[in-house]
Structures are given as structure tokens and as C-alpha cells.
Amino acid sequence: MGFFTKRFEHTAAQDKFYDYCLWEYKPATPISGKFRSVNLLLDSFEYAGVDERWYAFLSAIRKSIGHFRTVFGVKYFQNRLFWEFYFYDYRKKNRQRSMSRIIEALRLFTSCPVQPDEHIPYFMFSIDVDDRLISGQRALDEIHMYMEHPGSRYASGICYSLTEEKTTLENFYFFFNAATQMKDVVQKLSCSAYFDPEKVDLKQILWPEMRGCRVIVTANKQENDSVYFSRVTIEQFIFFLKKMEYPRAMYSFVKKNRNRLDHLLYDVSFDYTVQDGHLEIIKSGYYGFF
């Protein structure tokens, strides 16, 4: 049993459950004796072979803002794993989970040349996490800041990249109720410079196997588009891991422990574009909380 496996956590009666927007949901099954969502993150660390400092990194975040306040993303790109951590505070003013607070919490690991303006009404920010960051070999030189998008026909948000030198527009996100707004989803996905509905069947993006998810999010990014399926079941999550060809050990972990993970709802995504008339999936990801 490895370092991270030994630190797996089990549910407690007072636990709460959140999707990747940090919106609370009711668990799908009774929670007694089940795995916490963080175990998926710890399992990815175990597979990647990262060192013990990664656990200290998580602990520093929890010490600063508490348990169940951070969303993690495990990304798979060109047969490699990547991680991104997301921090929400919908109050915007007098926020407790600010960029400045996380920067301060992580000073034991790395420096940060980014100077956030806490007067800007962002509701969320994220950081890319890798071994060089946690070991102090690189600075936290970029923060992704998310803001609301007033005036849009749909619930939506905007992402900006913050660095020491500049602020750059990155992505637009649009949120749809999967049960009542599917026509709008189809229209939004079809209206893109990165997709040709005459050449690619939309079912290659809107997988039939993801029916029943609660929310579908579409994103327009600088070099591709993305789709997110929110609050899918454990069986849909297992299907996603297999279809996206995640490492066998990670897929097997979830499949083997489905009865310990079936109380959770999952959020999954992939980035895509169309090349030479064929859909190309660039990277994928799944999300949880700790």
C-alpha cells in the first residue's frame, strides 16, 4: 500500500457533497462506509508517483480554507496526467477564499509574482499544479480568474489569465439544463469555428451514454471547444474513463471500488476540435472536491 493509498478517507455523517461548481447536491446512495471524493485525487497521485509534498500541499490548502472547499481537476493529455485546483467564493465582496489567501497559504512551497486585485468581482479562480510548483522549482506565475457574464442569454462565465505582466481573455462558458435546454445545447455546439456539423455527427460530442446528467456546459476556448457533463453517475464515470483511455490502473481502481464510490455524482469533460473532417479529442478531465 502506497503513501497516498494509506491516506484514503471515508465518509462521515456530517459530510456534504459538491459538484465542480461547488454547488451542493444530495448523494445518490447512502454514504456510510463510502470513499470520499478526495480518494480519486489521491489515487491519481499514487499512479503518477509524485512525492509526499503533494499531500502537504493539500493539507496547507485545507488548513487555510477548510475541508470540502476546494475542487480538483485531474486532466489527461498526451498520455500524461495534469492537475488543476479551483477555489470558489460566490460572495465576491468580503470573500474568505481569495487569491491572496491561497497565495499566502502556499508560500511554504512556492512564490507568486501575480498581484491579484481583490476589488474585481471574481467568483472563482484556479491554479495549475505540477511537481515543479510544489517543489518550488517554478513560481505560481499564472492564475485563472472566473467572472460572471451579465447580459448573456444563458448562465455563463468568462475566464481570464492573470500573470505578472498582463491579463488575457481565455475562455467563455455556457451552462444548460440538460433536461430542458437540449435544443439550445445543440445550437451552441453547432455554432463554432472549431466544429462542422456537416462533417461530424454531434453525437460524437453529446454522447448518448451521458443522458441523464443534470447540467451540460459548453466552452469556447482560444484553440478549441469543450463540453462538460455535470453530475453523472458512477456507471457513466466508469464509461468515461474507459472511452477516454485513462491509465488502466486508474480505471480499474474506480471500477473495483464502484460500490464505495456510487454515492457521488461526477463531472467530466473533454476538449475537442475538428481536423480534416474528423473530431479530435485533445484532452479530458474529471473533477471532485476535498
- Give the model's pLDDT for residue 151: 84
pLDDT at 94 over 90: no
Work out the average pLDDT over 283-288. 99
Distance (Å, whole) CA 122 – CA 99: 10
Q: Which pLDDT score is estimated for 152?
A: 82
Average pLDDT over residues 134-151: 96
> Mean of the pLDDT values across residues 158-174?
98
The DSSP string of 185-230 is HHHHHHSSTT--TTTS-GGGTS-GGGTT-SEEEEEE-SS-EEEEEE
Task: Read off the pLDDT of each residue in 47-70 and give the average, rounded to a whole number.
Answer: 98
Closest CA to 158 of 168, 143, 142, 169: 169
What is the reported pLDDT for 173?
A: 98
Whole-number Å distance between alpha carbons of 173 and 219 = 4
Instruction: Write the CA distances from 16 to 36, 67, 178, 237, 289, integer angstroms.
Output: 10, 10, 24, 20, 10
Mean pLDDT, residues 235-255 taken together? 99
pLDDT in tens, 28-54: 999 999 999 999 999 999 999 999 999
* Percentage of the chain modeled with pLDDT above 70: 100
Q: For cell 447580459, what's the residue?
A: 151
Would you list the domain boundaries of the chain? 5-87+102-108+126-141+176-289
Cβ–Cβ < 8 Å for 172, 149: yes
Centre a 10 Å sphere on the Cβ of residue 82 and count the other Cβ atoms it contains. 17
Residue 57 scores a pLDDT above 90: yes
Q: Which amino acid is at 285?
A: G
For residue 231, give the nearest of 283, 179, 159 by alpha carbon: 179
Tell me the C-alpha distance between 264 and 232, whole Å.
9
Q: Is 94 exposed, middle or buried (0-12, 13-18, 19+ CB in 10 A)?
A: exposed
Average pLDDT of span 169-194: 96
Q: What is the pLDDT of residue 92?
A: 85
| Whole-number average pLDDT of the chain | 97
Q: What's the whole-number mean pLDDT along residues 85-110? A: 96
- Strand pairing report for 266-275 and 225-232: antiparallel
Closest CA to 280 of 214, 208, 159, 199: 199
Amino acid occupying residue 268: V
Between 211 and 265, where is the model more confident? 265
For position 197, what pLDDT does the model report? 87
The per-residue pLDDT for range 150-165, each reduced to its tens digit, is 888 889 999 999 999 9
Q: What local confidence, expressed as pLDDT, does residue 108 receive? A: 95
* DSSP-assigned letter for residue 85: E
pLDDT more than 90, % of the chain: 94
Place 104 in a pLDDT band, splitting at 50, 70 and 90: very high
Section 165-184 average pLDDT: 98
Q: In this structure, which amino acid lies at residue 33?
A: G
The arithmetic mean of pLDDT across residues 201-211, rounded, is 95
